[in-house]
Amino acid sequence: MQKAPEQVHGWTKGPPRHSETWWWNDEVAKAIEEKIRCYKMWHKTKTASDQNKYKEARRNARSVALAQEKKQKLVNELESTVRKKNVYRVAKQMTKSRQDVVGANCVKDAKGKVLVENDQVKEEWRKYMEKLLNEENTWDNATTCETLEGPCKLIRRDDILKAL
């Protein structure tokens, strides 16, 4: 009686419990094994030092796994036939991200001419800074304040109490 439904319909396994993980490699496996080893050690000893080692191993395993997953997503995106144009976009972004940003590549001189060569740009900046730092500012002497000569008067305790 129990075997009749099995013979007619068979058994199903149900949905897969885990999605495929193409990013799993030896580096991730070692990090996970280390995390499990540290957890077992901490579970046995219950010491704070082993707990800290486990937490560090857990953080390391998570960061390694996330980095591998991110790399694999990028590879999958680049390998897809729809995203072939993205190869050039990603390569361009990677090139730009590795460049040092030193400053502007061009400046205008006093006459409005655009300078692009490094020597000319440096010379123009030198002239500008020299002018800026050596320029005399006009002083209108409009500020008025009392000028005191000699040492300052000492503040006494009774002066403070009187002011309060």
CA 108/CA 110 separation, integer angstroms: 7
Coil vs helix vs strand at 39: helix
| 24 shares its domain with 91 | yes
| 70 shares its domain with 115 | no
In-domain check, residue 124:
yes
In-domain check, residue 142:
no
Q: Is 114 left (phi over 0), alpha (psi -120 to 50) or beta?
A: beta
Q: What is the pLDDT of residue 39?
A: 92
Q: What is the pLDDT of residue 58?
A: 92
In-domain check, residue 58:
yes
Q: How remote is the C-alpha of 47 from its chain's centroid? A: 34
Amino acid at position 88, single letter? Y
CA 62/CA 55 separation, integer angstroms: 11
| 54 shares its domain with 77 | yes
| 117 shares its domain with 48 | no
In-domain check, residue 45:
yes
Please, are residues 91 and 85 in contact by the beta-carbon 8 Å criterion?
no
| 88 shares its domain with 125 | no
Tens digit of each residue's pLDDT, the chain (164 residues): 667 777 766 666 666 665 556 667 788 889 989 999 999 999 999 899 999 999 999 999 998 888 888 887 777 776 665 566 666 777 777 777 766 655 557 788 888 888 888 888 889 989 988 988 887 777 777 777 777 677 777 788 888 888 77
| 50 shares its domain with 107 | no
In-domain check, residue 151:
no
Largest CA distance in the chain: 117
Coil vs helix vs strand at 91: helix
> In which element (H, E) is residue 45 found?
helix 26-45
In-domain check, residue 129:
yes
| 66 shares its domain with 107 | no
In-domain check, residue 116:
yes
Q: What is the CA radius of gyration of the chain?
A: 37
Q: Is the pTM of this model over 0.85?
A: no
How many independent structural domains does the chain possess? 2
Query: Domain span at residue 106?
Result: 102-134
CA 144/CA 21 separation, integer angstroms: 77
